[in-house]
Every structure is written in C-alpha cells, then in structure tokens.
Structure 1
Amino acid sequence: MFKLTSLNLNGIRSATSKGLHDWVAAERPDCICVQEIKAQAADMAGRFEELAGMHGHFHFAEKKGYSGVGIYTRHQPSDVITGFGPAEFDAEGRYVELRFDTPARKLSLISAYFPSGSSGEERQQAKYRFLGAIHPHLMRLKAEREFILCGDINIAHQAIDLKNWRGNQKNSGFLPEERAWMTKLLDNNAPDGGMVDVYRQLQPTATDACYTWWSNRGQAYVNNVGWRLDYHLATPALAQLARTEAIYKGQKFSDHAPITIGYELAL
C-alpha cells in the first residue's frame, strides 16, 4: 500500500517542535505533501531537507516566513517542477510537482497551497484569480498524465464539510463562488471537470470525523468545530486505487490535521 499524507504545517519549525518527526517516523508514509512551510532555503539547510528518512523537494515563497510547499518522498522523482505559471502566485511558493514517469506511464504528485481570502477583499480577489488560473492548468495536466494533488485548498465544498455551515455562507472558504469552482472541478459529466475528491469517494457521508482544520479562536479544536480544507484530488484512474483513509487527530502539530490515504500504487 502506497501511503500518501498531506499536512499544512503552519510553519515547519513549529510543527517539528511539536513532534512531527516522530509521528512521521512511526507512520512511515511513502510521501508527505506539506504546505505553509514558512521558511526559505537557507532556513531549511541542514535541518529540514530530510524528514524521517525522506528527501524533500520544495517551492519557497519570496517573502520570508510566508507560504511555501514541499513533498518529502522515499522515491526518486524523474522531474521536479516548481510553480505552475502565474508570476503572482509562483512568487508565493504555492505549487510543487514531482513526476515519477516511466516508459509505461506518466504520474505526478503535487503539493499545493491555495490562497485564503479570510483577511479581506483584496486577498479574496487574489484567491479567485488563483482558482481561475489553476483550473485550466489541472485540466491540461489531466489530459496528458495521471496525478494526485494534495493540499490545503481553503474551500469547504459541501455543508457536511464544516460544522457551522449556515453561519459561514458569506465567509471565505464557503462562499458560493468557491464551492461552484469545486463542483465544476469534480463534475464527471463536464469536459473541464472529472477530478475526484478521494476522501469523499471513501467516506461520502462523514461529517464531524472529516474536519482537518480548526480556528484558534475559542474552543474550536476541543469542541471539534472544524472545517474540511485539506484534500486529495486525483484523476479517476488513481482515485480508483484508493483503499484507506485516516485523519490523525491524536496529536496537534498545527491548526490542521494530517490526512493519509492508502493507494494500491507502486512508484
């Protein structure tokens, strides 16, 4: 079983100080996609290039202490791609793709960190620009290769994906436009859709158990007042290989929980 984990770290230095290394060493995923590293290459050197025996590949933000994504893997990729095109977002370190191509197949794993619009209208508009840019990129990718995108999407797609859905319909992360973007991406009958939300394929009705993020305000984590913001989005052929899912809530490494899905897949 190929174990693929995704986790928003909310800072790699913070997450590792809270026991991340020991957890990864015990769980032994084949790959872990991380978001919000909040570090630059110089900060990583000699400290975080490896994680529990896995080698990391990263896309750093130009701004210090901001964003950044990576993939730690036990397998040697055939190619590493950082960024997906738009200068505005590539400067923010939001996309890294590892390719594991062979003569018989084209396969990618992607770690992505979608913008949040919760700080105000300016960032919400940036989020819409990001969604508008990454959708055609994913469709082009889907036309030529199989892939799994793991990451903090910053969208709760359905009412069952967050605790207080009624009160959040005008808040970033659950806005109608954001949810419509996700619906379009997952529409099996649309030529510009067809991606699969792998967790929902395995757990179509889960509510309280599905949350991966909790606000730091109040007692959100203790009371499990959460959102499902972290996803595995896969092409259909790879989604059909998914067998197991787990959202780990036994130890808090950040304001997100790691989500691991097991695939019958060999790199």
Structure 2
Amino acid sequence: MKIITLNVCGLLNAVDKGFLDWMQAQAADVVCIQNLGVKSYQLPDAIYQPDGYDGYFFDGENQHLGGVGIYCKRMPKAIMTGLGFELADRDARFMQADYEKFSVASFLMPRGENPQEKTEFMAQFLEFLKKLRRKRREFIICGSWHIAHRTLDLANWEANQESIGFRPEERAWMDQVFGPLGFIDTFRELNRDEGHYTWWPNADQPRIQQAGWRLDYQVVGPNLRRQIKNAWIDESAQFSEHAPLIVEYDLNL
C-alpha cells in the first residue's frame, strides 16, 4: 500500500501546477491533502472525484484557513471528521478514512502564528493520541505537524531555536509522541540522514537556494513498525511550499 501526504497550500493552485496528473501517475492507494484554501462544494467534478479516486473533504469555517481531504482508490468503510474540540474542528484539521483493520487520517496542526493557541491545540491533541493508543485499530496519521523534531530536520537549526516550529516546548511535545506514547515517525524509521525537508518558505524560489524544514509526517503506532517498507520525499514535485511525503507499507486495503 502506498500513501502520499501533501500540504497543497491551496488545492486549486496545486492543481493548476499539475498536482492531479502527478498524483494519478503515482498510483497511490490513499492521498492525504491539507490546507485546501477552498470549500469542497466549490470544486469541479474533475478535482472532487478525479479519475480512479473518490475524494472526501472536511471544510473549515474559514476557507482560507485549514481544511483537509483524502483521495482513496478503494472506497473506505467510513469517513470520520473532527476531533471533538473547537481548535481542531472549526478549521477542519482532522479527518480519517476507516478500512477493515486500520484508519488513514489527514491532519493539519496549526502553524503557530498564535503560539498560545498552538500550545493549547497540542495539549488537546496529545490527549487524543493517548486515546488512540488504547484502541485496537491501527492509525496512519498523515499531514503537516508543523514541528521540526530534531536538529537534522531543518537547515540552520542554530539560528532557529526560538522560531515557531522548533521551539523547545514543541520539540519536547514531539518527544512525548515518539517516546512514551510509542508512535513512530515512518520517514525517520528508514532515513536517518540530514538534508531531507518537506517545506520551504517561498514556493516561487528554487528549493536549493532556501533553508528547508521537515514539517510533514506519516505517523503510526508501534504495531505497524515492521510494515514500513519505504519512505521518501519527492522534492521535485513543486505544487506548493511543501513537498509530498510518500510511504509504502506492507498492508492491504
């Protein structure tokens, strides 16, 4: 099974840059997208239900903030939206597609323009993650977590130790997710080198000229560790400020 996650920074703009053609060429089983920048009812059929995929979307109150979607080759048994707390649901930051034995979620952490609000969101989301670990169902949580976990996850880390997305308290929060809670960063499970990034601050400038950050993840529970077969970032796919993260699993839908 192949899963892709991409923060599109506006779905219509990404489509104009060739996102759908690229997606269909990848033949992924599930594609999670974030930061839609458009209400789902405004999407033409070719984007809502592209050839070979069923599209599912969760709209926020403000179309310019948040919004997530999932494209599925095989229809899921159920689609669930929301986390049950306002900071997540007003901006449509989480939805999941349920299959027989596992769920695939599209997730968008607040970027952090309001640090206090992001801190509150993280506290509530951590409680949600604790509940997931008590469930029998396995989860693959895909999206922009908007935190670079370790120094090798961003260029120029020395100059960014107080920057939003790399603050000590944010990194400590990730330590809890990948430590006591037992979740796994699928990319780092297979790739331990520096220089791998998923976000650059200016989509109109060449990425090789910019300092990148790794802000996008596919996160799984420990029971799926052995099912992670391959993981890579397609830095050549430039549909937004973010690059697609692609992971292959030894799982069947």
Q: Which runs of 5+ in 2 are unaligned?
A: none
Give me the CA root mean square deviation.
1.5
User: Residues 39 and 218 (structure 1 numbering): CA distance in 2 closer, same or farther, change over 3 Å?
Assistant: closer
The corresponding residue for 1:82 is 81
Match of 1:138 among 126, 129, 132: 129
Determine the C-alpha separation between the residues in 2 that align with 1:52 and 1:159: 40
The total of aligned residue pairs comes to 252
Tell me, what secondary structure is at the counterpart of 2:47? coil
Contact 2:82 2:89 in 1 (8 A): yes
Q: Deviations over 1:95-134 (max 9, x none)?
A: 0011113xxxx411110000011x3xxx111111111111
Which residue identity is paired with 1:174?
A: F
Residue 220 of structure 1 deviates from its aligned partner by: 6.6
The corresponding residue for 2:96 is 97
Residue 6 (structure 1) aligned with residue 1 (structure 2): no
Match of 2:228 among 235, 242, 247: 242
User: Residues 38 and 219 (structure 1 numbering): CA distance in 2 closer, same or farther, change over 3 Å?
Assistant: closer
Residue 181 (structure 1) aligned with residue 168 (structure 2): no
Residue 222 of structure 1 deviates from its aligned partner by: 2.9
Residue 16 of structure 1 deviates from its aligned partner by: 0.3
Residue 108 (structure 1) aligned with residue 99 (structure 2): no
The corresponding residue for 2:29 is 30
The TM-score, its normalising length taken from structure 1, stands at: 0.90
Tell me, what secondary structure is at the counterpart of 1:215? coil
Contact 2:36 2:63 in 1 (8 A): no
Percent identity over the alignment? 35
Which residue identity is paired with 2:102?
A: L
Determine the C-alpha separation between the residues in 2 that align with 1:156 and 1:63: 26
User: Residues 217 and 254 (structure 1 numbering): CA distance in 2 closer, same or farther, change over 3 Å?
Assistant: closer
Residue 219 of structure 1 deviates from its aligned partner by: 5.1
Residue 196 (structure 1) aligned with residue 184 (structure 2): yes
Which residue identity is paired with 1:134?
A: F
Determine the C-alpha separation between the residues in 1 that align with 2:240 and 2:66: 14
Determine the C-alpha separation between the residues in 2 that align with 1:99 and 1:64: 25
Contact 1:8 1:151 in 2 (8 A): yes
Which residue identity is paired with 1:211?
A: Y
User: Residues 47 and 26 (structure 1 numbering): CA distance in 2 closer, same or farther, change over 3 Å?
Assistant: closer
Determine the C-alpha separation between the residues in 2 that align with 1:67 and 1:47: 22
Where does structure 1 differ by over 4 angstroms across 4 or more consecutive aligned residues?
217-220
Contact 2:37 2:63 in 1 (8 A): yes
Determine the C-alpha separation between the residues in 2 that align with 1:61 and 1:131: 19
Determine the C-alpha separation between the residues in 2 that align with 1:177 and 1:11: 29
Q: Deviations over 1:23-70 (max 9, x none)?
A: 111111100000001111221252421234211111111112221001
Residue 21 (structure 1) aligned with residue 20 (structure 2): yes
The TM-score, its normalising length taken from structure 2, stands at: 0.95
Tell me, what secondary structure is at the counterpart of 2:24? helix
Residue 207 (structure 1) aligned with residue 194 (structure 2): yes
Residue 139 of structure 1 deviates from its aligned partner by: 1.6
User: Residues 166 and 219 (structure 1 numbering): CA distance in 2 closer, same or farther, change over 3 Å?
Assistant: farther
Which residue identity is paired with 2:58?
A: H
Determine the C-alpha separation between the residues in 2 that align with 1:66 and 1:219: 23
Contact 2:229 2:248 in 1 (8 A): yes
